[in-house]
């Protein structure tokens, strides 16, 4: 699926560079995009939920405990975004953009990201599982496109990592607040 000639990509070409002052600035700039991207994602999800009336569950549900939240936050806002940015943006989007052009690379990288997030979706019935998968897939498209666009514009993973970490972090905090408020 992702065949790249030997030596065609190296870490620098894939935007994986040392985290220096510029990287921190790019990370912060990427994080600023989280709120508008969450808004657009919410609107898209609500539209899709009108067609598929299912109740999606968070991949990292709220725990109600400080230790549980801290572990979920580290996993969901730091570890997963870094690994996913290396795979989906640095490797896949870079390879596709190089071979097919930036626009196609961006779209394929976004579709790959969204698809990877629905592989484990299940439901009580086939119809329920299908609806949950569609909602999860379509709901990830806005953030996937934003992450890819930011990565291609900045040329490093730090801006897209900043957006991804902030996006996940804000959603984790909101879920925890909602859980503890009930």
Q: How far apart are CA 102 and CA 64, in angstroms?
A: 43
| CA dihedral angle for residue 151, residue 155, residue 157, residue 158, rounded to 10 degrees | -100
pLDDT value at position 41?
96
Q: Residue 14: its pLDDT value, please? A: 87
Q: What is the pLDDT of residue 58?
A: 81
Q: Are 164 and 87 in contact (CB under 8 A)?
A: no
pLDDT at residue 3 is higher than 70: no
Mean pLDDT of all residues belonging to the chain? 92
Tell me: pLDDT of 4 over 60.
Answer: no
Does the pLDDT of residue 9 top 90, yes or no?
Answer: no
Q: Is the pTM of this model over 0.85?
A: yes
Predicted confidence at residue 1, as pLDDT, reads: 41
Res 8: pLDDT? 64
Query: Which pLDDT value is given to residue 89?
Result: 96
Cα separation, 175 vs 70, in Å, equals 13
For residue 23, CA distances in Å to 18, 43, 153, 154, 180 come to 8, 31, 14, 10, 35
Residue 15 has pLDDT above 70, yes or no: yes
pLDDT in tens, 37-77: 999 999 999 999 999 999 988 877 888 899 999 999 999 99
Q: How far apart are the first and last CA of the chain?
A: 45
Mean pLDDT throughout 132-160? 96
């Amino acid at each position: 699926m992702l065949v790249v000639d030997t030596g065609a990509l190296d870490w620098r070409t894939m935007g994986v560079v040392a985290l220096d002052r510029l990287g921190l600035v790019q990370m912060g700039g990427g994080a600023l995009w989280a709120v508008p991207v969450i808004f657009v994602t919410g609107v898209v999800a609500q539209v899709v939920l009108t067609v598929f009336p299912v109740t999606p569950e968070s991949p990292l549900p709220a725990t109600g405990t400080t230790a549980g939240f801290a572990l979920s936050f580290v996993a969901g806002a730091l570890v997963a975004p870094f690994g996913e940015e290396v795979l989906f943006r640095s490797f896949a989007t870079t390879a596709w953009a190089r071979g097919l052009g930036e626009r196609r690379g961006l779209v394929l990288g976004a579709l790959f990201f969204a698809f990877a997030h629905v592989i484990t979706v299940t439901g009580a019935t086939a119809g329920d599982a299908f609806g949950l998968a569609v909602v999860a897939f379509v709901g990830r498209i806005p953030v996937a496109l934003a992450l890819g666009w930011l990565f291609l514009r900045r040329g490093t993973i730090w801006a897209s990592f900043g957006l991804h970490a902030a996006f996940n972090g804000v959603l984790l905090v909101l879920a925890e607040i909602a859980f503890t408020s009930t």
